[in-house]
C-alpha cells in the first residue's frame, strides 16, 4: 500500500509497509496491533493442547457445521490514525458454508467469522485488552479467551465500537455456555 507519488507517506503508511515486509523466523508470529508491531515466539505444548480441546468440542458439538483455522490472519479496522490491525488469532471459527479460508491471501477480512479464540502465552495483556478491542472493532460476535494465568475462560460477546458489552467468566474446570451458532456448554474439566 504505497501512497501515490505526489502524496507524502504518512507514519501509518510507513508502519504498515514495514510490517508487511517483515520476515519473521519460522514459527514466530508478527501482528500489527493498535499501531504496534508485536512478534511472539512459537507456542508451548500446553497452549496447543487447550486449542485442540476446544476445537474438538466445537467440531463435535456445534449446532452449525464449523470450519477452523489457526493460521489465517485477520485484517481489522483500527482506531484513530493507525493502519489496519493485522491480528492472527490462535483460532478462528466460521460456518463451513461460507468457505472463508479459501484463497492465497494470508490476511482475510473478518466478515462471517463466528468466533475467535486466544490462549494466553508470553504477552497475556495483549490477549486480554488490545486483541479484545481489535476483535470488537471488527464486529466479531464472540471472543473466547483462555487465560492460563488466572485459570479462567471468558466469553466476550455483543461487540460495540472498541469493546464487547457482555462477558462471562468461568474458572477452568467449570462449563461455559457458548451461544448460537455453537449452542453448547464448553467443558473445561480437561483444562486443569
Report which of residues 1 and 157 the model is more confident about: 157
Q: What is the pLDDT of residue 164?
A: 98
| CATH fold of the domain at 43-191 | tt1808, chain A (3.90.1570)
SS3 31: strand
In order, the DSSP letters of 111-177 are TT--EEEEE--S-HHIIIIIHHHHHHHTT-SEEEEEETTTTEEEEEEEEETTEEEEEEEEETTS-EE
- Residue 90 DSSP class: S
pLDDT in tens, 72-110: 999 987 666 666 889 999 999 999 999 999 887 889 989
Q: By the 8 A CB rule, do 91 and 70 touch?
A: yes
Q: Which of 45-59, 100-114, 175-189 has the lowest mean pLDDT?
A: 100-114
Triad 25, 117, 138: Cα angle to 5°: 95
Report the mean per-residue pLDDT for the chain: 90
Cell numbers placing 177: 455456555
Distances in whole angstroms, Cα of residue 30 to Cα of each of 39, 85, 147, 157, 160: 4, 11, 21, 26, 26
CB 144: neighbour CB atoms within 10 A? 24
> Closest Cα partner for 79 from 27, 35, 127?
35
SS3 69: strand
Q: Which of 26-35, 54-63, 122-131, 140-149 has the lowest mean pLDDT?
A: 26-35
Report which of residues 6 and 108 the model is more confident about: 108
pLDDT in tens, 135-174: 999 999 999 999 999 999 999 999 999 999 999 999 999 9
Amino acid at each position: 500500500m504505497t501512497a501515490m507519488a505526489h502524496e507524502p507517506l504518512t507514519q501509518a503508511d510507513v508502519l504498515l509497509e514495514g510490517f508487511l515486509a517483515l520476515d519473521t523466523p519460522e514459527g514466530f508470529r508478527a501482528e500489527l496491533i493498535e499501531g504496534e508491531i508485536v512478534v511472539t515466539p512459537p507456542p508451548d505444548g500446553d497452549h496447543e493442547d487447550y486449542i485442540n480441546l476446544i476445537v474438538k468440542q466445537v467440531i463435535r458439538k456445534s449446532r452449525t457445521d464449523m470450519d477452523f483455522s489457526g493460521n489465517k490472519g485477520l485484517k481489522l479496522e483500527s482506531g484513530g490514525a493507525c493502519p489496519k490491525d493485522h491480528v492472527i488469532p490462535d483460532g478462528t471459527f466460521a460456518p463451513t458454508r461460507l468457505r472463508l479460508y479459501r484463497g492465497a491471501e494470508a490476511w482475510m477480512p473478518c466478515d462471517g467469522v463466528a468466533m475467535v479464540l486466544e490462549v494466553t502465552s508470553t504477552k497475556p495483556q495483549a490477549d486480554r485488552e488490545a486483541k479484545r478491542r481489535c476483535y470488537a472493532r471488527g464486529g466479531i460476535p464472540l471472543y473466547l479467551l483462555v487465560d492460563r494465568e488466572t485459570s479462567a475462560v471468558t466469553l466476550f460477546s455483543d461487540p460495540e465500537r472498541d469493546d464487547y458489552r457482555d462477558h462471562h467468566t468461568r474458572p477452568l474446570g467449570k462449563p461455559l455456555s457458548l451461544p448460537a451458532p455453537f449452542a453448547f456448554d464448553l467443558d473445561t474439566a480437561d483444562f486443569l
